[in-house]
Amino acid sequence: IIGQSAPVRGLLRKVEQVAPTNSTVLIRGETGTGKELLARAVHDRSKRKSRPLVKVNCGSIPSGLVESELFGHEKGAFTGATQRRIGRFELADGGTIFLDEVTELPIDTQVKLLRVLQEGEFERVGSSHTIKVDVRVIAATNRNLQEVMRNGSFRADLFYRLNVFPLEVPALNERPEDIPLLVNFFLSKFAKSLGKDVHGVSQSSMEHLCGYRWPGNIRELQNVIERAVVLAKGPVVQIDQSLLRSEDSSTTADSFIDTLENNERQHILKALHATGWVIHGKQGAAERLGINPSTLRSRIEKLGIKRPA
């Protein structure tokens, strides 16, 4: 995990605090910020590090197979079940399971997950035999949990069970001072893997990179650097605005929604920094933004904005 900014240092301090415990961890952050890497960091610093870290992308499993994937099934439990299958929770017994995109789980599966968190037990699909497991759960999502609970697609009781120790991963545009470190890391990595003799980027290229908004976060930065190394014709890599614009133009509608949220977050942060985090009063951030102080507090909470230590 590369970075020296205050948000990254604060995040790593929290990782060191929670890792040795068995507490459930909920990682929240935008797409491409490195949530899986953070889950690995928690597991590797825990007492379970010698046991497996089982990773599950809940959004990539067909809805009809989610329970079988997580909890296993018996032979003949459903059409196509030709043999017994061990689920991910059994495989993770004694270790850690990482549930990425946890908000994509169907409601029925959320009930079984809640039981595992509360009692440490479940049944395979097609079986009445109860299986006990000792598994630490780390969940992650890039969605607004308050919103998905309001629309009824995520159980509130499951949220409170998962949200024992929340970790907020900062977006890349919230830690711009880390961009040069990340650029040099990816440059070295891809120069070695692609067999290119490159040593750095030009000053103008670094300025472009530091001034870009990065709606795709670190994953987008990684892709840009890899493409730049492939195109490099000398030891100093040149990255112009066209390379960044082409990346930005290929973003999906969901990324565009994230970009609007980033715009609002940055605008509020700018006002808060300018007023020394004062919200009320004539010189407060609420007046500068032209909104009610209670509305501003609500937006700060919804966008996950936290005052730096």
**SS3 for 123?**
strand
Identify the burial level of 105 via C-beta atoms within 10 angstroms of its C-beta, where 0-12 means exposed, 13-18 middle and 19 or more buried: buried
What are the tens digits of pLDDT across the range 155-164? 999 999 999 9
What's the CA gap between 127 and 125, in Å, rounded? Answer: 6
- The DSSP element (H or E) to which 200 belongs, if any, is strand 200-201
- Work out whether the CA dihedral 66, 126, 107, 159 comes out positive or negative: negative
* pLDDT at site 256: 42
Q: Which residues contact 275 (CB under 8 A, 6 or more apart)?
A: 283, 284, 285, 288
* pLDDT at site 299: 83
With the CA atoms of 278, 11, 213 and 140 taken in that order, what torsion angle do they form, in degrees rounded to the nearest 10? -110
* pLDDT at site 301: 81
* Structural Rg of the chain based on CA atoms: 22
* pLDDT at site 302: 78
Q: Supply φ then ψ for residue 131, to 5 degrees.
A: -110, 130
- The per-residue pLDDT of the chain, averaged, comes to 88
* pLDDT at site 104: 93
What's the CA gap between 268 and 230, in Å, rounded? Answer: 38
* pLDDT at site 309: 58
Three-state SS annotation for 12-51: HHHHHHHCCCCCCEEEECCCCCCHHHHHHHHHHCCCCCCC
Q: Supply φ then ψ for residue 24, to 5 degrees.
A: -70, 140
Query: Which residue type does 118 have?
Result: Q
**SS3 for 207?**
helix
* pLDDT at site 294: 84
Weakly modelled stretches of the chain, pLDDT under 50 = 246-257
Q: What is the pTM of this model?
A: 0.76
